[in-house]
A and B are shown apart, each in its own frame.
Chain A
Amino acid sequence: MNIVKKRNWFFIFSLLIIIPGLISLSLWGLRLGIDFAGGTLWEIKFDQQEISSHAVFQYLKEQQEEISSVAQTNENSVLLRMKSADELKISEIKNKLNSKFGKTTDVRLQTVGPIVSAELTKKAVVAVLVSILAIVLYITWSFRQIPKPTSSISFGICTIIALVHDVIVVVGIFAILGRFFQIEIDSLFITALLTVIGFSVHDTIVVFDRIRENLKKYSSFSFEEVVNHSILQTFARSLNTSLTVVFVLLALFLFGGESIKYFILALLIGIISGTYSSIFNAAPLLVVWHNLVRKRA
């Protein structure tokens, strides 16, 4: 099997996944949850059975309360969304609901003020950039003894390209999911992205490490042959590792409960993408880089 030779096909496959996501991202952006956009999310359970979200919405509208939406979460509970509400507002609405629909209990309530959400957004961007930079530096340092004419910086850069690929895949898919399935991103999504970054690099390094070793061992072979050989040697490991992680994540996705469902989904997509990109993008890209440098020389 010659993966490196068919590299353009694999690059095209990546683009097929990435481009719709990018289009969706530029047209509609991500659907920001209240962590980033600010606001109040409030799930209320009515002791009286079966009250429809529609009735609640109508009633609160009559009462001139500014509610953006009411969604049914269970037969007797609803989820309210509104602008960031303070204590007074919350108890006012609660009193109104109690007098109209009977006793209620708060299942959960989350309010995020505009200052907190703005700070979080800034921090998230900084965190992603800082971790990318730190990893590039570490890899360049770790691969400093690579035999000439290959440069250790090419390993660092190709790792980053694979990593950015994975980030874009996840973000793009969530832009699509946000547009068509109303799935929002929250601060856990950033956590997922950073974990995917870590994992993507993890995967890529294993392949690169083998290339580093084989370059010393098989100096008579061409760079392209060494890379392809290294990919094949580490293939079983890459697949097996991803499989075990995917098993675990699938279990969490299916049985782990509603509040971390999309966090796990982001991880799942990212890790599958990470495995793909380390085998089919990162290592073949090294060859592309190598050939470009040689042509110029």
Chain B
Amino acid sequence: MPKNPRIVLLFIICLTILAIVVDLPKIKIFGFNLSHPKINTSFFKRDLEPKLGLDLAGGVQLTMSADMSKIEEKDRDNALESAKNIVENRVNSLGVAEAVVQTAKTQSQYRLICELPGVSDVEQAIEACKKTAHLEFRTLKADASQEATISAKPEDFESANLGGKDLKRAQAQPSQDPQTPGYVISLEFNGDGAKRLEEITKNNLDKPMAMYLDDQPISWPPPVIRAVISDGNAQISGNFTAKEAKQLAIQLNAGALPIPLKIESQTRVGPTIGSGSIEKSFFATAVGLTSVVVFMLIYYRFLGLFAVIALAIYSLVVLSLFKLIPVTLTLAGVAGFVLSIGMAVDANILIFERMKEELRWGKPKLEALFAGFERAWSSIRDSNVSSLITTAILFNFGTGAIRGFALTLAIGILVSMFSAIIVSKTLIRIFWVRKIK
């Protein structure tokens, strides 16, 4: 701790103001429209809107198991990754904001977990998640004009009778050829596919060949056939970056390695139950906080006031962290936050009780203050570390609601240590000790 507590106080004030700015809801006061800012830099983007989970916003959560029986062992991870990517694209095109698609793998099971908060047409959303990807290669229609070869539109193409079932796998790799720098995608076709490809490349030499996933063209403008390919090993080059090439390979693999998805578990929450829960948990949090404030003020009087101020700063900082990280709030998450308030107060109580004891033993105020903080520290440290151990285990063990709870509780515990040790201490040192002197 620096010698001059005023510097720390300044730091705390700045931090509080920052937190308030981040926390600002959209409201109108005295004719001014207030709102939190949006962070938009090249490496850090946040819209700072509160993120609500399924149980608060309503929506659907699906746990789908992937049937990997027809996929070779070494391709399984790729297949799952591709399926995830496709499902993500589909739900995004449905206009579901905040959709989360995760892969989950245990020894024997490959799964996709889709969380679609706030979705209105549940059946449509489920269909979009479950559908297997359909990949198709298309060539120019026979009657397409000559100009179309150069600037073809998606509607100028027709099916080349070559699709996902003919493709074994796609892979992004750095180009070996100095003529075509960057990354390329190598495609490996199976026996039937190789024969078809030879035919197509012969008939369409120097013409484009487009790829469609679920009837949407991928990688536009389409690559042009440069040679007749007879061994079933094709390469797409186009000065791709590593990221672009990888993305294209994932999309192609979705067609090449189709995995049927089966819904194992699902949760649907209607929008009315969600908004009811928001109101209820908001009210409960307010009541809980108020009772803590009243208790601290009655029991510890002037000292309690510092704890209450520290608690207010604590709440502001935690909420702004929730928005910055961002943490998706669920009912369990709110409970974790509220519980961490209890722990934040605990640190203050530990210190105050110790200070009172030291004063009773006849120490002067400043010394009692330091002794209180110093002696209470080992209890605060040990007890919070053991709570952090359990939150870490919870986070690893759980999905969804449990993770949310563990995360909010852990953030709460960490910030509470800061608030009790730095914020309360500085406030008391400046305003309490000085006043008595």
* Interfacial residues, chain A to chain B (CB-CB below 8 A): 45, 86-87, 91, 105-113, 115-116, 119, 123-124, 126-127, 130-131, 134-135, 138-139, 142, 187-188, 190-191, 194-195, 197-199, 201-203, 205-206, 209-210, 213, 233-234, 236-237, 240-241, 243-245, 247-252, 254-257, 259-260, 263-264, 267
Contacts and interface: CB of A to CB of B under 8 A. Distances in A.
Interface stretch (B72-80, B247-255, B291-299): B291-299
19 contacts: A86-B263, A111-B265, A111-B266, A127-B393, A134-B393, A135-B389, A139-B382, A187-B398, A187-B401, A188-B402, A191-B401, A194-B390, A198-B387, A199-B387, A210-B379, A244-B342, A251-B291, A259-B331, A260-B331
B205 interface: no
Contacts of B277: 257, 259
A256 B332 contact: no
Interface in B271-292: 272-273, 276-277, 280-281, 283-285, 287-289, 291-292
B383 A188 contact: no
Given A106-B122, A107-B273, A138-B386, 12 more contacts: A105-B270, A123-B397, A138-B382, A188-B401, A195-B339, A203-B383, A209-B379, A248-B291, A248-B342, A256-B280, A256-B335, A260-B335
B12 to A, nearest CB: 23
Contact of B335 (A134, A240, A243, A264): A264
Nearest to B389: A134
Contacts of A126: 397
B398 A248 contact: no
Most chain B CB within 10 A, of A116, A135, A197, A256, is at: A256
Contacts of B126: 87
B266 A109 contact: yes
B394 interface: yes
Given A205-B382, A254-B284, A190 B109 contact: no
B117 to A, nearest CB: 13
A194 B268 CA distance: 27
Nearest to A117: B265
A187 B406 CA distance: 13
A109 B60 CA distance: 9
B346 A244 contact: yes
Given A115-B264, A191-B405, A248 B386 contact: no
Contact of B397 (A105, A124, A135): A124
A236 B353 CA distance: 7
Interface in B230-268: 263-268
A136 to B, nearest CB: 10
A248 B389 contact: no
A210 B289 CA distance: 29
A87 B397 CA distance: 28
A110 B383 contact: no
A251 B267 contact: no
A107 B272 contact: yes
Among B289, B292, B338, B342, residue most surrounded by chain A Cβ atoms (within 10 Å)? B342
Nearest to B61: A110
A252 B394 contact: no
A139 B339 contact: no
B355 to A, nearest CB: 11
A199 B385 CA distance: 11
B353 A245 contact: no
Contacts of A250: 288
Nearest to A241: B346
Interface of B: 55, 63, 65, 106, 109, 122-123, 126, 263-270, 272-273, 276-277, 280-281, 283-285, 287-289, 291-292, 295-296, 299, 331-332, 335, 338-339, 341-343, 345-346, 349-350, 353, 357, 375, 378-379, 382-387, 389-391, 393-394, 396-398, 401-402, 405-406, 409
Given A205-B379, A244-B342, A257 B398 contact: no
Nearest to A206: B379
Contact of B65 (A115, A260, A263): A115
A202 B411 CA distance: 17
Contacts of B276: 257
Contacts of A188: 332, 401-402
A61 B391 CA distance: 45
A6 to B, nearest CB: 24
Contacts of A248: 288-289, 291-292, 338-339, 341-342
Contact of B386 (A116, A135, A236, A243): A135
A116 B345 contact: no
A166 to B, nearest CB: 13
A136 B356 CA distance: 31
B353 A108 contact: no
Contact of A106 (B270, B281, B332, B357): B270
A108 B284 contact: no
A206 B386 CA distance: 12
Contacts of B339: 195, 245, 248-249, 267
Nearest to A124: B397
Contact of A131 (B106, B266, B390): B390
A113 B341 CA distance: 36
Contacts of B335: 252, 256, 260, 263-264, 267
A142 B391 CA distance: 19
A115 B63 CA distance: 11
A259 B58 CA distance: 13
Contact of A108 (B267, B280, B341, B346): B267
Contacts of A205: 379, 382-383, 386
Contacts of B357: 233
A235 B281 CA distance: 32
Given A107-B272, A188-B402, A256-B335, A198 B391 contact: yes
A187 B375 CA distance: 38
A252 B292 CA distance: 13
A8 to B, nearest CB: 28
User: Chain A CB within 10 Å — which of B383, B384, B387 has the most?
Assistant: B383
Contacts of B332: 188, 191, 260, 263
A79 B95 CA distance: 30
Contact of B393 (A130, A254, A264): A130
A94 B339 CA distance: 40
Contacts of A130: 393
